[in-house]
């Protein structure tokens, strides 16, 4: 059972990578956004602390 789950997860990751590659995003902008995160307008910092707390609690 676990082998099939890991196999399906691996295939899903492979399909995701191929799909992103085929979409042809602006790689420079994607790298910039990944290394310089910013909060969207209207979202407070407490919202993200709440998300982190929920993820740790799960």
pLDDT (0 to 100) of residue 28: 95
What is residue 5's predicted lDDT score, i.e. its pLDDT? Answer: 94
d(CA 13, CA 20) in angstroms, rounded, equals 11
The C-alpha atoms of residue 17 and residue 19 are separated, in whole angstroms, by: 5
- Of 10, 32, 30, 34, which Cα lies nearest the Cα of 20? 30
Residues of the chain with pLDDT under 50: none
Quote the number of domains for the chain. 1
Burial class (CB in 10 A: 0-12, 13-18, 19+), 11: exposed
- pTM of the complete model: 0.51
**For residue 11, what pLDDT is reported?**
97
Q: Which domain holds residue 33?
A: 2-57
pLDDT of residue 22: 95
pLDDT value of residue 58: 72
């Amino acid at each position: 059972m676990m082998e099939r789950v890991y196999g399906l997860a691996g295939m899903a990751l492979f399909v995701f990578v191929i799909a992103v590659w085929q979409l042809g995003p602006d790689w420079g902008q994607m790298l910039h956004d990944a290394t310089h995160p910013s909060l969207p307008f209207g979202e407070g910092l407490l919202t993200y602390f709440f998300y982190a707390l929920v993820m740790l609690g799960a």
